[in-house]
Each structure stands twice: as structure tokens, then as C-alpha cells.
Amino acid sequence: MLGKGVVGGGGGTKAPKPSFVSYVRPEEIHTNEKEVTEKEVTLHLLPGEQLLCEASTVLKYVQEDSCQHGVYGRLVCTDFKIAFLGDDESALDNDETQFKNKVIGENDITLHCVDQIYGVFDEKKKTLFGQLKKYPEKLIIHCKDLRVFQFCLRYTKEEEVKRIVSGIIHHTQAPKLLKRLFLFSYATAAQNNTVTDPKNHTVMFDTLKDWCWELERTKGNMKYKAVSVNEGYKVCESSVKLKDAVFAHCYVLSITQWLASKRSSINRRKKEKPHLYLEGDLRQFGLPAYFVVPTPLPEENVQRFQGHGIPIWCWSCHNGSALLKMSALPKEQDDGILQIQKSFLDGIYKTIHRPPYEVVKTEDLSSNFLSLQEIQTAYSKFKQLFLIDNSTEFWDTDIKWFSLLESSSWLDIIRRCLKKAIEITECMEAQNMNVLLLEENASDLCCLISSLVQLMMDPHCRTRIGFQSLIQKEWVMGGHCFLDRCNHLRQNDKEEVPVFLLFLDCVWQLVHQHPPAFEFTETYLTVLSDSLYIPIFSTFFFNSPHQKDTNMGREGQDTQSKPLNLLTVWDWSVQFEPKAQTLLKNPLYVEKPKLDKGQRKGMRFKHQRQLSLPLTQSKSSPKRGFFREETDHLIKNLLGKRISKLINSSDELQDNFREFYDSWHSKSTDYHGLLLPHIEGPEIKVWAQRYLRWIPEAQILGGGQVATMSKLLEMMEEVQSLQEKIDERHHSQQAPQAEGPCLLRNSARLSSLFPFALLQRHSSKPVLPTSGWKALGDEDDLAKREDEFVDLGDV
Amino acid sequence: MWWGGRGQSFNIAPQKEEPEMGSVQENRMPEPRSRQPSSCLASRCLPGEQILAWAPGVRKGLEPELSGTLICTNFRVTFQPCGWQWNQDTPLNSEYDFALVNIGRLEAVSGLSRVQLLRPGSLHKFIPEEILIHGRDFRLLRVGFEAGGLEPQAFQVTMAIVQARAQSNQAQQYSGITLSKAGQGSGSRKPPIPLMETAEDWETERKKQAARGWRVSTVNERFDVATSLPRYFWVPNRILDSEVRRAYGHFHQGRGPRLSWHHPGGSDLLRCGGFYTASDPNKEDIRAVELMLQAGHSDVVLVDTMDELPSLADVQLAHLRLRALCLPDSSVAEDKWLSALEGTRWLDYVRACLRKASDISVLVTSRVRSVILQERGDRDLNGLLSSLVQLLSAPEARTLFGFQSLVQREWVAAGHPFLTRLGGTGASEEAPVFLLFLDCVWQLLQQFPADFEFSEFFLLALHDSVRVPDTLTFLRNTPWERGKQSGQLNSYTQVYTPGYSQPPAGNSFNLQLSVWDWDLRYSNAQILQFQNPGYDPEHCPDSWLPRPQPSFMVPGPPSSVWLFSRGALTPLNQLCPWRDSPSLLAVSSRWLPRPAISSESLADQEWGLPSHWGACPLPPGLLLPGYLGPQIRLWRRCYLRGRPEVQMGLSALTVSGLQDELSHLQELLRKWTPRISPEDHSKKRDPHTILNPTEIAGILKGRAEGDLG
């Protein structure tokens, strides 16, 4: 309890205006400082991590639901994280901290996790960036995982303040080179460490075998083939060198800007010598080394437009219909090139419109659906609701909670994504059509929608391994630009769009509505969303598999040495002890019973018949012609003359959708079959665990879902032990009782914020949340604490 | 609550066996007129109930559609599915019964048009193909008529419903019917809920609460102090009945301070009406009033109940808006749903109640003092707050039994005007305060799923019971009226109640049925669902030994008097408004001076608080609810029942399923233990009771599937 100043206020209706001066006198600071250095927690550095700058005697504010404490310690900035080393960590060594992240401590902020930095100058809050003329007395850091840290620098030496503030600002906000990511220094340093083999069976989709396996699993191998045309990204050796040189230049230029300029220069040259550039390389445009295309598609077609305009297989439904995606061809003005593109697309469409392929419906995600801009705006509004500097701010927004929430339209965006996914599901499931998702680069909303569709239709994706494989397939190999979308390199703020987070939020809605259908829990999703910002895992730190492979040194001449061994986020043991990992697993999940396969099949057919019967007419031949018309339309679309209206009259579409949706929801749910979310107004909710977890006011002591969960685990345990007993009797042998103590059972009353926000643990005193009462309590408290200080001084 | 119960609210018939195809076919046939259902239906009628009209129909909106009969009587509209096991379980059907007062809106559908039926005249030239009955309790019944409504019976029954409803609206007082237990096989094993109508009930309860400084007063035995007060209540030991009578005269409607709940730690929670300001008490009266308020404590906190809480009109308006919003055909766009919900302000009010209750429970729990809830009428928000405070601070109140006795004591016996507030009298003072209370309790249930013995379904059942015509509990405004009706008071003419013609010796009124006789309307399977499978009594352990602090019964003047208002404590110079400055007396109940300065500036001032008011650790039994915007949720299972798309899919794999499994396994083990000794188990294995683990795992999965299915 050293050096804790207690500050009154908070809660009420007005800013508490905490002032530390009144309670902590300079003499105490000095005495404390000594002790702090003695008791100080040693900085834990990862392999390859380097200390950059530090400052001592920093006061970190600790929010408890009524008042704010301060804790003295050292503020440190390394090339991996910002860390605060205070003395209160020793108090946390108990059972509840078992859900501890081994990489990131509770007072650690990875550099990529920093969202905004504010400084307080004379009670005024200002955003900090660039070179500072004046240094703030208080530093506020908003994190991307929605934590808010406040550090008081008033008692820190001036040069230390300068160093730490400018250090933090520089290392978090200045644009970075890809090669300078901590990822690489970590991988180099940890090279010799035996990487624990991730005993998971997540399919990484980086080999041809993986794709064949997936084709086999979904029975798509009849009509689709895995191709290795892009293997080793082999097209030309020389441009690799060129690439490396260019990477050095892109310190200021964003990668995408660079890509755009590159593309236009290619295009320019194409115009000059079209025959030379028709067969470009696939490497910059996100295609993985291996992927799957319709069987009759000639492999050389794939290369013509660098993988653009090629229908790429995502997934096959049990009834044979498939989900495909395609990136749009570059927009051209030149009629000659347009002609070439048109005939190319015609050829493509001929192959996929002929039987055995089902009727194709095209979903243009870049023109009729969400824009990335919308997502960005909505999320930045939405997250502000939860990034709270003090409780007063929270109370202010609380009154208008629902309308604020609505005006952010984040929930509405989630609803639209889910709705689109249901529409596509309807096409595939009920109308037996192929769906082709179309997007400029096929790497943002394509990933989102196709993963959602698979999650709804394929129960395998609802297991943990299946879900991880899905992310690996659709997002990582699908070329989602994690580096840009998360703005890990701080090169272009405009490119920062939380598409993946939106996906996780959509998944959360599904998990929340149908918990027994998923093998993983919401905690798993929350932890996954946090892992987005930990730069020791390669999973979310590249724009494309090609970029990863080039930078890992698997190719090119400069790396004669061993290729770097990067960690994958799916190796959860890197972050969590096995005990903590139990919280990621849903105890209620029942695996698909394998015994009654025949019966299930029968049921499925029945189900399908019921759904598709009223719609069979719509699949008859006139529709085929109808869709052929759409092909032309689509080509026009692809060629840049976009006509916004769908051909399908929206009414008909709505009706089909409605009927499908209603009929599914009026039946009881088969958790191992098709799963649709509710999308009505009241059903889309805030992912409370992720967004509220750091807000002490949101804590319900002894309540929340944890309470149910612990009861549940207890019962599961009991069932298990009873079964063991029966087993024992059955075999009349004494099996050793192996009862692992459960994480949840140790402490009687956990808070609803469990397993996060351990800081608030000691706030067990009842406090009237109203200012009057609180002031009284605090005053009382304060008197006691001042006594403590006096005692300390005497010692 | 994602693990919820296993059913889909109470809308699925508990008898799961589907009518066989043959029987359905048979019933589809238009029955000959001579086979009036009266023969079978009449036996199902309540005494005094007459069938006005009936027609065959099909219950729509939910899968599977059920065919059955739509019946209109002079009390209710009910739908009876074919194949319903009549002589089983419950005499009344809880699923499809709509008491006439409960019908909020009536619509008839013909083709694409939809007409709201208000008067019998609106039916002219309109053939109802389908009729929609919107309950005021958010239920919806859709019945489609066979032959597209061309059947004359369809027309008749619609007419009858419209007429009966119009008549019931006119009726000044809704009479209801009373059933007695005499006809029922009263085989309930559980102790009955004390109705708090006898002095013994009050004495037992007082002992249970260990309220030593209090006694049961019989001063209102003949309802001559106040008709809205119960016949018995608790007053401080030292106060004589004559003093009670004298003091009560100075309170609004004679509702003076009484004990609500005695906290084991020594504090007392009192409730009283507003001071009757027109009276002119003498010194002795004032002394009596003060003694009663002080209840032997040196610290007294007056809580202005109406402060910060919605007015009755607010509650009513919010509830109307909420009902409009939750209508299945509500026109609110999905993306505007949240602001529409906010616009009803219902959740705001729920939050305000929780917040205030949480504040008060902290005041009560942690210190020895007398906390007095004061509301002008003392019949609405006082009941709400005192019940909530008890739920928050007393683990016993969170049991099924405890909660029912709590409602009986703080609402029914305390004289909450149920009939008026629920719109039974057609008076303008309608305000569903009790439903607001139920919503608050539901929020607590959400937030503390392991701390309550009862489940959401119990709350739902209670919610639906407030307008049923078969028990008196919620059909009277005051205990006096209730007693009059049930024949407790011999001085009043006894109402004829069938099946009650021969009052047996002993306490005749104990045979009166109350709403707590759940088996009247709910089947055993449904009543089983009232239990919360996640209830974990470990959370409120026996070790919760409150430190009984000496309550100093010093008859001296209180050393500190506070007013708790606007979330802040303000010192008061005196307890009663009359003594020094009569000019202060406002006519309204809100005589208490509002702090002119805002609370936060008050907070900055120095308070000379007694030192023992300092912070103390949270007692283990106390729940502190969250009342932030994101934590207050909409009671979907209740309010959105009318929407089929929301209604379905509320089921989830449940804890109860697991619990079944547990008991099943335990049963298996028990059967085993005596039968087989380890040596000969292979011989005596009974294939029906002994399963090998894989078989058991199979059962587990099968059950899980069954739950899902």
C-alpha cells in the first residue's frame, strides 16, 4: 500500500477533478521512491526485446468504482511494449490471476495496441503527435483493446518526461518499416528456442494437401481443383530484388499507395506493350501459393490478370452448390483492353455457367453493400462509448445510452452483414445456386461474408479447430490486408478499417444467440481480438501470404540461413497456461454424434426438401436465361460501367429471404446443422465482454454469466466424476481420482468482469454511486490513509 | 439468460404428444351442431362462468399449428387445442386463456385487410378469417377460422368476444370468481404461502426476522384505522396501541410508520405515508410520531421515495409505449429500434428503481439505523422499493417461498391497489407499478443468475397472473375489500361461492385460493420450471451470520436525522414537519425541502458525520445491481412474446438438462450399490438399469439433442 494517494470524487454527475497534490506530499514521494526501487518489479523482456527509454516516479491512476488511487512506478518503453512497473502487482498473486496472459501483463501495452495518446496540459486534454514543444503533466493512453491508462508525470524528472513522452509518441505513431516489426527481432532471437509444437490441428492452408483435404471434406472435389500455379510465387526471380528495394522506399509511402502506383505503371506499360503484361505476376495481389478454381478453368487464365477475374472457390455446400469469390478486373478506359477483358470474362463465365455447375448468382460487395468508410466511421464512434477517462464521462453518456449506441450504427452494420450472409445462405441452401462474391480485391468484405456463410452452414467451422482453419483459409490465405487494416505500420490512417473485428463481432452475435452450437466461448473471441495487436505472432502481421513468405526468407538469395520460424496465434499455449485455456472452451458444446449418420442424412434431405419445394419453379429454365442476361450485366459491371440496380427485383428477393428466415426460425434448432442468427432490432447486442470489461462501473460483483458458468462447470464435473465412478464399478478397478481444480471454483464470488479487469478486484466495499454519499465515505477513508502515511514516515 | 429454461416460454403445450393424424382429421370435420362442446367444456368452466359462443379454429403463428376450439365466456376468451388432456393436471389453462380485461386489442383479418374491432358494429360486412387477440400482458393469440371464416360460428364467436369485452369494460368493478380449495385435492407438500391475514402469520414472520424490538399491533383489526392497511402490522414494542392510533391519524390515509423488514445487522426498514399536513397535532402526538419513526435508533434516515423515481403517470405512459413498441406489427425500423426503446423510457425507470433500491440497501445493510421509506400514498413505490431492498439484502427473500411471501406482505397485504393500477376499474389511475417491479426483479435475475431460487418462468407466470379472474389476490385494491369478498368478515354478507357452501370448521378463509396456488393454472411440469436450475445457495451461505449489533432503544431524541434525496444525504433539523415552522408545510407529499444547491456542491461541504458511519466491508449476502445503460436489458421473453420470430429460438441447452442428467446418474449409482457387490456384478447385470459408459454418453447426447429439439 505504498504511496497510494486517494482522490475523492468520481461517479457523480460532475467531473471529480482529482488533485494529487493535496494528499501526497513531496517528502513522501522521495521516501517512496527509494522503496519503490527496492521493491520494484523487474522488467520482463521477451527474447529480442530492447529497452528504449524509461521514466521513474510515474503515478498510474487506478480506477476503482468510487475513487481513484495512484500507484507509483516506472514507465518503460521497449520496442515491443509500453510497460508500467508498479508495486501493486505483488498483490495480484492469487487464484484469480490464473487467467494471465503470459506475453502481455496487465500493465503492458504493445506498441501496436496503442490507439490514441493524449496529454493533459493545465487540465486540458490534447491529442499528442509529432514533435512536442511542451510536455504534458498527464499522459492518457487509449488502447485498441479499449483499456485506458492514465499516467501522472508531475513527479517525474523533466528530462525523463521528455524522453519517455517523445519516445512513446515516436515508437507508436511514426510510420514503420515492415522489416522493423518486433516480429522479426523476436523470431530471430527466439530462433534457437525450441518452438513448442502447437498440438492443434488447425489447417494452415499453406500446402496443396490442405486444400485438397478441404475439397475432400466438403465434397467439392468433383467440380473444383486445387492449383499450384502460384507456387513459390515463382514467376520471375528478378522482380524479387526490385521488390526489396521498393520496400525500403515505402517507409513513407503506404504499401497500398505503392501498389496503386505500381499497378498504374504496369497498366501504362500494358498499354504500350499489351502482350507482354497480360501474363503478369500474381504476387502482389494477395493470392496464396495454392488455391482452388473450377476444374475446367485453364491454369494459364489464372495468370492473365494477376488473379483478378478468376472465380476462386471458398466452400462447397452439401447439396453441391458452392461459394466463390472473385476480385474485380482493374478499371480501364482503353477500348482495346476492355475488349480483351470482356472476352476473357466471357470465357470464364462460359466455363462456370455450364453444367455441372449450378446457376450462379453474383453478389457485388463493393457497390451495393457496406463501404469500408462506413465501417471505419461507425467503429470510431462506437468505441468512444467505451473509452472512458473517468467515470464521470461514463455517467454523462449513460443517460442517452441507447440513442448514442444507435447513432454509431455499428450494430446496424453488424445486422447488415448477418443479413447478407443469410441471403447468400438462402441462395445456396434453398435455391441450390452458386454464389459468386465480387469485390475489388476480394480481401475485405469477401472474407467477412464468406466466413460468416460458412460459419452458419458448416458445423465444422463452429469447432475451435474449424474456426481457426476458417480464419486461416479465408482471412490469412485470402489475403486480408491485416497490416493495413490494423494500421500496424502506422503508414496510412485511412486504410485502418476494423473489418476483422467486425467479423468477430458478428461471430459473437451468433455465439451469444446459440451458445451450445460453438465449441469456443466469447472469451475465446475476446482473446482472439486482443491477439491482433501482439507482434510475436505472424498470423495478423502481413498483408498477404506472399508478403509473409518473402519476408520470412523462404525465398530470395539474401537468406541462405534458416528461414525464420514465426509463431502462429493458434498456439494458445504461448499466451495462456492450460488452466486458463479451459475458459476458451465451451463446456456445453456437444460434439456431433457420429452414430446416427444415416438418420441424420435422411433428416437433412427432408429438411432440404421442405425448404426448396416452394421454390423449385424458380429454378427452371427461364431463370437460366435470366441469369445469363445477368452475366452480361456483370461484365459491364466488371468493366467499370457500374449500374447499381440489381436485376432481381428486390421484392422477390425479400420474399425469398423472409420465407427462408422465418421457416428456419420457426423450427427447433439443430446445432449441428444450418444455423441462422436473429437479426431483429432487439436481438443484435453489444459484445459486453469485450467492450465493457475495463469499466469498473460495469462490474457486478458476484453476478453476471460467470455465476452460471461456475455452477455449470461444477455440474459437468459432477457428471464426469459420477461417470467415472460408474466406469470404475463397471471395471471394478480403482482409477485414481484426477480432479483438476477448476479455475472458476476457487473463489466464491467473482465479478461479472471475470476473467478480465483484475484491477478492480479489491473494490469490495459498498459505495453509494452518488456523489454525496461517496464523498462522505471517501473522507473517512482518507483520514485512515493519512494515518498510514504518517506511520510510514516514522519508520 | 442464455441457458434459461428449456421451453419456449409457456406457449407450448406441456403435453408434448401431438394429436395423431387420425384425430386431427376427425376434428377437422365440422362437428355436427348437436355435439356442442358444452358437455365437455362445461365441466371445465369456472363456477358462474357461461359459454357465450365457440367456434373451431386453428392456432396460428407458431409451428406446429394447433387445431382446437375458440371459446368465449363471460369471463375470458380461451382456446382449447384438440387432444388437450382435460381432466389432467390443471383446471385452468395458462397458455391460451385471456381474461376479458386482459384483452388489449382485438383485430380481425380478412384477406389482406385488418380491422381493429372496437364495437360490435365494426363487424358488419366483414368476414373474419383470422382473429388476433393482443393481451395487455404482451401475449398474442392468433386463431384462424376454418372454411375461411364463412362458418357462422366464426362470426358468432367474434361478435361474442367483442360484446363481452365491451361489457367488461363498462363494468365498474371487475367481480371475478373465487374458487375454493375444497374442490381441489390439496395435496401440496410445500408449506403454503402465509397470506398475512392472521396475527399468527405476522408473529411467525416477526420471529423469523428476529425483530425483537417490535410487536404485532392489532389496532387495525376491524380496519378502522385504515382500510388500505392490513389488519395487523408491526410497531415498536414500547408504543401503545393508543399511541399508534393517535400517530397514524397524522399520516396520509392513516398509513403511519410500520416495520417492513428488520435487517439482521440491527437496522430497520420502515415504510409510511406522507405526513397529513392539514392536521394539527399536539405535542404528544408529535412525540408519538417521532418515536415511531425513530424506532429506537439514534440515526434516522428519511427516504423520499418519489424523488428520482417516475410518477404513476410516467409509469403508465412508458408501459403503453412499450406495449406499442412490442406489438408484432410495430412499424419501428430495425435500425431505429434502440432509440425507440429508449424513447419508451421504461428501461430508464427500471434503472432508476434499481439504483435507488441499491442505495437504500447500502444504507440499511451497513449501519444500525432506522431507514424510513416515505411516499405520500405509501401504496406504490414504497412497496416496490422495500421489496427490492429486501431482495438485494436478504438471501431468504430470493427463495421461491421467500419471494412469494415478500410479494404477499409488501404488495398484497400492504394494500397496493392492484385493481386500479392494472386498469381493472377503468379509472384514470392505471399504472402498472407491480409490473415495473417484476421487471426490476428480472433484471436482478439476469445479473445474478445463481442467487435466486426462482426462474424467469416464475416471474413470467406471476406477470401473467395479475389479471386472471380466478383468485382474489390481485383483484382487489385493499385488504379490506379482499377480506370482505372472501368472507373473512362475518359482519358482511357472505358471497356465494360454489363449492364452498359448507364452510368447514376452523379457519374458513384459509381455504380461499390465492394466486400462489400455482397448480390451478400450471401443470406440474411447468411448476417444476419455476425452479432456477442455476441456483447456487453457496452464494448466500449459512455462514452469513450477521453481527447482531445492540440496537440501543434509547427513547431520547435522535442524535442525527438525515434526508436521503437526490442521491445525497442532507441533515434535517427535525423529523416531523409540524413542530417549529408550520409555514414549511407544503400541501404536497413532497414537503421535504429539496436541496436548493445541486448535490455535487453539497458533497464538497464538510459533514460532521458520526464516525461509525464510515465504510465497512460488503456483507456477503448483499447484491449490488448494475444499473448502467448496457446492463439494463429488455425482458424479451415477456415483452416480445407476440413476435413469433423472437419467440422461437429462445431455447437453449439448459442447465436443467444437465441437472436431469446428474440425478439420473445418481439414481443409477444408487440402484447399483445395494444390488451388486463388486464380485458378481457381471452376473446380475440388469440390462435396463446398468449401462456402460458409452451407453451413458449416448444418453447424454441424446438428451442434449432432445433439449435442443
- When pLDDT is cut at 50, 70 and 90, the band that residue B416 belongs to is very high
Report the distance separating Cα B113 and Cα A628, nearest Å: 39
Q: Rounded to 10 degrees, what is the CA torsion of A73, A76, A80, A82? A: 60
Per DSSP, B572 falls in state -
Does A349 have pLDDT greater than 70?
yes
- When pLDDT is cut at 50, 70 and 90, the band that residue B432 belongs to is very high
* Interface check B600 vs A, CB under 8 A: yes
Q: Do B696 and A726 touch (CB under 8 A)?
A: yes
Contacts of A157 (CB under 8 A, 6+ apart): A55, A56, A57
Residues of chain A found within 8 Å of residue B668, distances taken between Cβ atoms: 726
Q: Do B634 and A668 touch (CB under 8 A)?
A: no
* Interface check A770 vs B, CB under 8 A: yes
Does B529 have pLDDT greater than 90?
no
DSSP B308-329: TS--HHHHHHHHHHHHHHHSTT
A544-599 confidence digits (pLDDT tens): 888 888 887 654 444 455 667 788 899 898 898 888 888 888 887 877 766 444 44
Q: Do A771 and B567 touch (CB under 8 A)?
A: yes
- When pLDDT is cut at 50, 70 and 90, the band that residue A743 belongs to is low
Element (DSSP H or E) covering residue A118: strand A114-121
CB atoms within 10 A of CB B336: 15
A55-69 confidence digits (pLDDT tens): 988 888 876 544 567
Which of B63, B600, B625 lies nearest to residue A14, judging by beta carbons?
B600
pLDDT at A736: 45
Does A620 have pLDDT greater than 70?
no
pLDDT at A412: 94
As a whole number, mean pLDDT of residues B170-199 equals 60
Cα–Cα distances (Å) from B211 to A78, B239, B359, B390, in that order, read: 63, 15, 23, 15
CA A791 to the chain's CA centroid: 49
**Three-state DSSP class for B491?**
coil
Report the distance separating Cα A169 and Cα A174, nearest Å: 7
Residues of chain A found within 8 Å of residue B709, distances taken between Cβ atoms: 668, 670
* Interface check A690 vs B, CB under 8 A: no
Angle at B153 between CA B150 and CA B157, to 5 degrees: 115
Does A657 have pLDDT greater than 60?
yes
Gyration radius from chain B CA atoms = 28
Cα–Cα distances (Å) from A68 to A5, A12, B171, in that order, read: 8, 13, 61
Q: Closest chain B residue to A692 measured between Cα atoms?
A: B630
Residues 631-650 of B with CB under 8 A from A: 631, 634, 636, 640, 643-646, 648-649
Report the distance separating Cα A720 and Cα A714, nearest Å: 10
Residue A435 or residue A699, greater confidence: A435
Report the distance separating Cα A116 and Cα A454, nearest Å: 35
Instruction: Give the phi and the psi of residue A264 in degrees, each rounded to 5.
Output: -70, -30
Report the distance separating Cα A521 and Cα A536, nearest Å: 24
In chain A, what's the furthest Cα-to-Cα distance? Answer: 95
Residues of chain A found within 8 Å of residue B652, distances taken between Cβ atoms: 514-516
Q: In which region does residue B54 sit, left (phi positive, over 0), alpha (psi from -120 to 50) or beta (all else)?
A: beta
ipTM: 0.75
Q: Do B653 and A516 touch (CB under 8 A)?
A: yes
Among B230, B233, B225, B222, CA closest to B491: B222
pLDDT at A354: 77
User: To the nearest whole number, what is the mean pLDDT of chain A?
Assistant: 73
Q: Do B342 and A403 touch (CB under 8 A)?
A: yes
pLDDT at B362: 83
CB pairs under 8 A between A and B: 276
Q: Could you list the beta-strand ranges (E) of A284-321.
A: 291-294, 312-316
Q: Do A680 and B646 touch (CB under 8 A)?
A: yes
Residues of chain B found within 8 Å of residue A748, distances taken between Cβ atoms: 538-539
Q: Do B624 and A766 touch (CB under 8 A)?
A: yes
Burial level of B674, CB count in 10 A (0-12/13-18/19+)?
Answer: exposed
Per DSSP, B235 falls in state E
Question: Residue A240 carries which side chain, given as an amino acid letter?
Answer: V
- The cell for B386 is 422495500
pLDDT at B40: 53
Cα–Cα distances (Å) from B245 to A131, B218, B225, B379, in that order, read: 79, 11, 7, 19
- When pLDDT is cut at 50, 70 and 90, the band that residue B430 belongs to is confident
B483-515 confidence digits (pLDDT tens): 776 655 444 334 444 443 343 333 444 456 788
- When pLDDT is cut at 50, 70 and 90, the band that residue A492 belongs to is confident
DSSP B242-257: HHHHHHHTTBGGG---
- When pLDDT is cut at 50, 70 and 90, the band that residue B64 belongs to is low
pLDDT at B399: 93
Which of B628, B651, B697 lies nearest to residue A697, judging by beta carbons?
B628
Does A21 have pLDDT greater than 50?
no
* Interface check B17 vs A, CB under 8 A: no
**Three-state DSSP class for A577?**
coil
Report the distance separating Cα B457 and Cα B3, nearest Å: 12
| Spatial contact of B468 and B99, defined as CB atoms under 8 Å apart | yes
B396-414 confidence digits (pLDDT tens): 999 999 999 999 999 999 9
Lowest mean pLDDT among A79-93, A215-229, B648-662: B648-662
Does B22 have pLDDT greater than 50?
no
Burial level of A566, CB count in 10 A (0-12/13-18/19+)?
Answer: buried
pLDDT at B484: 76
Q: Do B569 and A773 touch (CB under 8 A)?
A: yes
Place of cell 399449428: B65
Residue A327 or residue B597, greater confidence: A327
Among A672, A505, A391, A198, CA closest to B708: A672
| Spatial contact of B199 and B216, defined as CB atoms under 8 Å apart | yes
Task: Find out if CATH 2.30.29.30 is the number for domain B39-168.
Answer: yes
Q: Do B334 and A680 touch (CB under 8 A)?
A: yes
Residues 435-464 of B with CB under 8 A from A: 447-451
Question: Residue A716 carries which side chain, given as an amino acid letter?
Answer: M
Does A312 have pLDDT greater than 80?
yes
B67-96 confidence digits (pLDDT tens): 888 888 887 888 887 765 554 445 556 677
Contacts of B529 (CB under 8 A, 6+ apart): B5, B6, B7, B455, B457, B458, B656
Residues of chain A found within 8 Å of residue B534, distances taken between Cβ atoms: 707-708, 711-712
Report the distance separating Cα A476 and Cα A451, nearest Å: 12
Count how many Cα atoms sit within 13 Å of the Cα of residue B285 in the half-sphere of its side chain: 18
Which of A399, A698, A732 lies nearest to residue B626, judging by beta carbons?
A698
Does A347 have pLDDT greater than 80?
yes
pLDDT at B487: 58
Residues of chain B found within 8 Å of residue A767, distances taken between Cβ atoms: 362, 615
Contacts of A415 (CB under 8 A, 6+ apart): A679, A684, B334, B335
A246-284 confidence digits (pLDDT tens): 444 433 344 445 445 555 554 554 444 433 333 334 444
Question: Residue B299 carries which side chain, given as an amino acid letter?
Answer: D
A105-121 confidence digits (pLDDT tens): 888 999 999 999 999 98
Among A270, A378, A263, CA closest to A327: A263
Report the distance separating Cα A75 and Cα B168, nearest Å: 74
B564-576 confidence digits (pLDDT tens): 877 777 787 777 7
pLDDT at A211: 92
- When pLDDT is cut at 50, 70 and 90, the band that residue A610 belongs to is very low
pLDDT at A587: 80
Q: Give domain limits for chain B.
A: 39-168, 200-490+512-539
Which of A590, A692, A726 lies nearest to residue B704, judging by beta carbons?
A590
| Spatial contact of A682 and B624, defined as CB atoms under 8 Å apart | no
Q: Do A398 and B628 touch (CB under 8 A)?
A: yes
Per DSSP, B619 falls in state P
